[in-house]
Amino acid sequence: MTDPAKDDPVTADPAEDRSGSPDRPDGPGGRRSLDEAEVAAEAARLDRAARERVQVTQSTLLHPTMTIDDAYAVQDAWRRLELGRGRRIVGHKIGLTSRAMQQAMHIDTPDSGFLTDAMVVPSGSVIEAAAHTDPRLEVELAFVLARDLAGADVDVDDVLDATDHVVAALELIAARTHRVDPDTGRTRTVVDTIADNAADAGVVTGTCTVGPRDLDLRWVGALLYRNGTIEETGLAAGVLDHPARGIAWLARRYAALGRRLEAGQIILAGSFTRPVTVAAGDTVVAEFASLGDAGTGLRDRVEVTFT
């Protein structure tokens, strides 16, 4: 049997999660309030909700003192459940990269989640809508790493140097806990979202790849159509002024935990459009375009259909 820890470059001593990361706030966000048994039980509850395709009560309604550190501990326990089933960690997603979303969530940093091999599909795929709770799509760029990326001082240039190529992508997001509690009307918090694997449910990747320095990635634009009607437009600069900046943040956060981003992994840099709801019968197309100084550029069409 495969040892999940050997296949997973971000496995760490659980004791690491008992103290806050230096780039996560104290107060409502920092330090741990849940014990290991509570963390494991919450991870199992969210995992069961995903597998049974049902939404459940917000984590913070069950655990009012739950912190951001607790939420990442729950996410990590859920990741270990996936590894135990033979899944492989093939990448990560970064969310809350726009200023508007950070203000709405009352947080000043992004969040992150994990990607397994079962969550990555190519453009043209057909996805069962009912397999995901409250599914939505976001427009993103995905960075595929050529080498490991780690360190407390990682910046945008380091990310570009470590990247093999960049590809257009659509992120599928889902909510295993209610976005709005049906009984109280309470909106879920960033703590709930992080525990829920940062709402990550999958990624649809394009086919056109560009080198990380072939063009100014901030100027990659995208048009998002649902059933032939344009729903969203966006520019990659909306992701923290450069789509690599969130990846640098993640590398620094992992460095504080003794972890790293690994060569070959796919890193979703963050959405530069609002999420668009999808349902059975929908076809969604994202058209990406940008040109570099030498005539090289990114021009791609990413499509997915829901049944």
| Per-residue pLDDT tens digits for 20-31 | 333 333 333 468
In eight-state DSSP terms, residue 186 is P
How far apart, in whole angstroms, are the C-alpha atoms of residue 230 and residue 271?
17
How far apart, in whole angstroms, are the C-alpha atoms of residue 246 and residue 225?
26
Q: Across residues 7-16, what is the average pLDDT?
A: 33
How far apart, in whole angstroms, are the C-alpha atoms of residue 260 and residue 152?
11
How far apart, in whole angstroms, are the C-alpha atoms of residue 171 and residue 197?
13
Architecture of domain 92-306: Alpha-Beta Complex (3.90)
Distance of alpha carbon 215 from its chain centroid, rounded?
A: 24
Whether 3 shows a pLDDT value over 60: the answer reads no
| Per-residue pLDDT tens digits for 159-218 | 999 999 999 999 999 999 999 999 999 999 999 999 999 999 999 999 999 999 999 999
* Alpha helices (H) along the chain: 4-7, 36-52, 59-62, 68-84, 99-105, 156-162, 190-195, 245-256
Q: Across residues 233-241, what is the average pLDDT?
A: 95
pTM, to two decimals: 0.88
Q: Across residues 121-144, what is the average pLDDT?
A: 97
- Looking at per-residue pLDDT, the higher value among 225 and 4 belongs to 225
pLDDT, mean over the chain: 89
Q: Where are the domains of the chain?
A: 92-306
The whole-number pLDDT of residue 293 equals: 56
State what percent of residues in the chain have pLDDT above 70.
88
Q: Across residues 256-268, what is the average pLDDT?
A: 96
| Per-residue pLDDT tens digits for 68-108 | 999 999 999 999 999 999 999 999 999 998 876 777 677 78
- Looking at per-residue pLDDT, the higher value among 122 and 101 belongs to 122
Q: Across residues 239-251, what is the average pLDDT?
A: 96
Confidence of residue 246 (pLDDT cuts 50, 70, 90): very high
| Per-residue pLDDT tens digits for 46-73 | 999 999 999 999 999 999 999 999 999 9
Whether 14 shows a pLDDT value over 70: the answer reads no
Closest CA to 123 of 202, 212, 210, 201: 202
